């Protein structure tokens, strides 16, 4: 698993085994009185285990001036002192003195000696075909309802469990790459699942044969990935380099690398990439410039088919003008200018509106993707975690609810008027929220603060919390997913000695507890491939 990264200066640096090493983001014990160490040494001792060798990112993001354009040095110092909310970044105020922290700030704003690059050719050299897929059988090697399977990601030892969603028994458990992040994505038929690791590895796993079949390193510091609705393409969004990479979903051959620069040529990290099924396109959210991209991937009938679809769509929404853009295998870019940066996103169920918020402004911007313009502002307090938002019907309207990573509240928003109709008070800031169309309840965790062991159950038709669970005292309880029929709920005890807890989704009684190693997200095949509105997409 050793890997070489190319640099523009031709220098080679080996990130041997970084991808599979169990690194822990922790604080090295230091003597706060000493300031003899160089910035490089301080970085090595305190930052490298998370931010990677040569600042290229691992569990934490890459740290180069190009990636810090939105962060002033003063703010960077505060982040080192106090940690960063809703990330794994700890506070160093008690570990390092002011002088050492200032040295680190200067260091991370110093350009790299050699600009890290990762070209299409570099990506190609990493491609691995573990198995000849054409020789693998087309029938599952186990007996289970294929639509009610779960993949559970276990961060503790970088593994994943394939779980039977009827019996709640593990079918198999397998190694993943180091530090997966974001939801794994299924092929449209649910047979394959694609994982992205923070250090750029994309792995394709054949569920039927229980084998990782192909892998490729698509970036140095990756955000997430998405798979097209026709199952042909995967897109990967990167922090380093600033680009998106389009892969052939079959064997992960890289097809195209698109540098993410705005209309004026300013380069940007990618916040996240999404598949927008009704639009037959990928949406690319850029982090450092005020632009969102749409990249159509449908090659079925070219422009005319796409236009036809767009027309039907707009008939329902009554908004916007049909815009033409070429749809072909060249993956054209449709640029949508935004008024503010967008760090966090949510799409309405029809993928006409993107709701985005910047980390600094709190308010949500509602952008009509067809009309390419902002159509509303949602006034929200704190820091809504839109990416975890879900929708349901409430008093004849569709509402959208989002937890908040700064305050103990869930904001419930009317999706017609874009007004907040209720702020549900919770026992602390939350990260993930979930429901299912067949369930009367929505679940939200209290991921941060002293009440991290708690999970609230909200009744969807009254918008009231009806139950608060604390299944493992002192341990974070977070991230739920429902079975395909919405009758059972699976919750993570997010701890090295953690567990997956199964609840009856109606009586809210615990039914089973499976020991797991820091289980994070869990992903039900049916809910994911059908874009069930209670879950993340
Ligand atoms: Fe995540 C999804 C961004 C920190 C666990 N996270 C996502 C997605 C984005 C995102 C854009 C949606 C992508 C997708 O699923 O395809 N996450 C961010 C951040 O910007 C943030 C705050 C800082 C960072 O470190 O990047 C962040 N995330 C974390 C964590 O610290 C978590 C708790 C632990 C970890 O794995 O690093 C974490 N994020 C997750 C999980 C999902 C996720 C489990 C998928 C949720 C789902 O149900 O789909």
Give residue-wise pLDDT tens across range 470-509: 999 999 999 999 999 999 999 999 999 999 999 999 999 9
Q: Which residues of the chain have pLDDT under 70?
A: 1-35, 299-329
Q: How far is CA 65 from CA 92, 180, 266, in A?
A: 21, 25, 14
pLDDT at 344: 87
Q: Whose CA is nearest to atom 6 of ligand 1?
A: 182
Burial class (CB in 10 A: 0-12, 13-18, 19+), 84: middle
pLDDT at 299: 55
pLDDT at 358: 87
d(CA 226, CA 528): 12
Say if residues 448 and 431 touch (Cβ distance below 8 Å).
Answer: yes
Q: Whose CA is nearest to atom 23 of ligand 1?
A: 87
| Neighbouring residues of 41: CB distance < 8 A, sequence distance ≥ 6 | none
Residues with CB under 6 A from ligand 1: 86-88, 155, 181-183, 224, 272, 387, 479, 520-521, 536
Q: How far is CA 511 from CA 458, 487, 533, in A?
A: 20, 12, 25
| CA 136 / ligand 1 centre spacing (Å) | 33
Among the atoms of ligand 1, which is closest to the Cα of residue 271? 11
pLDDT at 22: 31
Say if residues 438 and 463 touch (Cβ distance below 8 Å).
Answer: no
Tell me the three-class secondary structure of 63-90, residue by residue. Answer: CCHHHCCCCCHHHHHHHHHHCCCCCCCC
Put simply, whether the predicted model's pTM sits higher than 0.95 gets the answer: no
| CA 103 / ligand 1 centre spacing (Å) | 29
Q: How many CB atoms lie within 10 A of CB 508?
A: 14
pLDDT at 101: 94
Alpha carbons within 13 A on the beta-carbon side of 239: 25
Say if residues 184 and 195 touch (Cβ distance below 8 Å).
Answer: yes
ipTM of the complex, rounded to two decimals = 0.98
What is the C-alpha R_g of the chain?
23
Say if residues 192 and 210 touch (Cβ distance below 8 Å).
Answer: no
Instruction: Tell me which of 181, 184, 389, 492 to substitute to probe ligand 1's pocket, judged by most ligand atoms within 8 Å of the beta carbon.
Output: 181
């Amino acid at each position: 698993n050793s890997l070489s990264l190319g640099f523009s200066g031709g220098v080679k640096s080996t990130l041997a085994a970084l991808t599979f090493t169990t690194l822990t983001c922790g604080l090295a014990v230091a003597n706060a009185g000493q300031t003899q160490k160089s910035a490089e040494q301080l970085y090595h001792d305190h930052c490298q285990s998370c931010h990677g060798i040569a600042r290229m990112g691992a569990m934490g993001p890459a740290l180069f001036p190009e990636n810090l354009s939105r962060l002033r040095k003063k703010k960077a110092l505060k982040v080192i002192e106090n940690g960063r909310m809703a990330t794994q970044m700890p506070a160093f105020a008690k570990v390092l003195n002011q002088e050492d922290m200032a040295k680190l700030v200067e260091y991370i704003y110093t350009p790299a000696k050699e600009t890290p690059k990762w070209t299409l050719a570099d990506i190609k050299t990493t491609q691995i075909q573990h198995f000849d897929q054409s020789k693998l059988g087309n029938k599952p090697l186990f007996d289970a309802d294929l639509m009610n399977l779960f993949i559970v990601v276990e961060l503790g030892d970088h593994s994943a469990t394939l779980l039977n969603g009827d019996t709640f028994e593990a079918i198999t458990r397998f190694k993943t790459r180091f530090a997966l992040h974001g939801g794994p994505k299924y092929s449209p038929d649910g047979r394959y699942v694609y994982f992205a690791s923070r250090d750029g590895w994309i792995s394709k796993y054949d569920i039927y044969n229980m084998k990782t079949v192909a892998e490729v390193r698509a970036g140095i510091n990756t955000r997430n990935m998405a798979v097209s609705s026709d199952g042909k393409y995967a897109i990967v969004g990167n922090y380093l380099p600033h680009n998106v990479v389009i892969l052939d979903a079959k064997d992960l051959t890289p097809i195209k690398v698109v540098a993410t620069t705005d209309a004026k040529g300013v380069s940007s990290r990618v916040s996240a990439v999404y598949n927008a099924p009704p639009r037959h396109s990928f949406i690319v959210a850029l982090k450092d410039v005020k632009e969102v991209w749409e990249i159509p991937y449908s090659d079925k009938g070219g422009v005319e088919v796409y236009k036809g679809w767009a027309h039907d769509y707009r008939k329902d929404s009554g908004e916007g003008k049909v815009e033409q853009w070429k749809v072909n295998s060249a993956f054209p870019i449709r640029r949508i200018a935004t008024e503010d940066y967008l760090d966090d996103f949510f799409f309405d169920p029809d993928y006409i509106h993107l709701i985005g918020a910047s980390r600094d402004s709190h308010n949500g911007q509602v952008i009509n993707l067809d009309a390419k313009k902002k159509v509303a502002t949602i006034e929200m307090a704190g820091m809504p975690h839109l990416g975890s938002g879900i929708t349901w019907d409430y008093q004849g309207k569709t509402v959208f609810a989002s937890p908040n990573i700064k305050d103990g509240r869930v904001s419930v928003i009317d999706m017609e008027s874009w007004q907040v109709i209720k702020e549900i008070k919770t026992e602390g800031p939350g990260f993930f929220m979930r429901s299912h169309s067949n369930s009367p309840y929505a679940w939200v965790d209290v991921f941060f603060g002293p009440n991290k062991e708690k999970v609230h159950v909200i009744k969807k038709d009254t918008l009231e919390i009806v139950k608060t669970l604390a299944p493992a005292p002192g341990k974070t309880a977070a991230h739920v997913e429902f079975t395909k029929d919405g009758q059972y709920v699976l919750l993570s005890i997010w701890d090295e000695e953690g567990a997956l807890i199964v609840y009856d989704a109606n009586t809210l009684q615990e039914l089973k507890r499976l020991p797991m190693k820091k289980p994070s997200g869990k992903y039900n095949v049916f809910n994911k491939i059908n874009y069930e509105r209670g879950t993340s997409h």
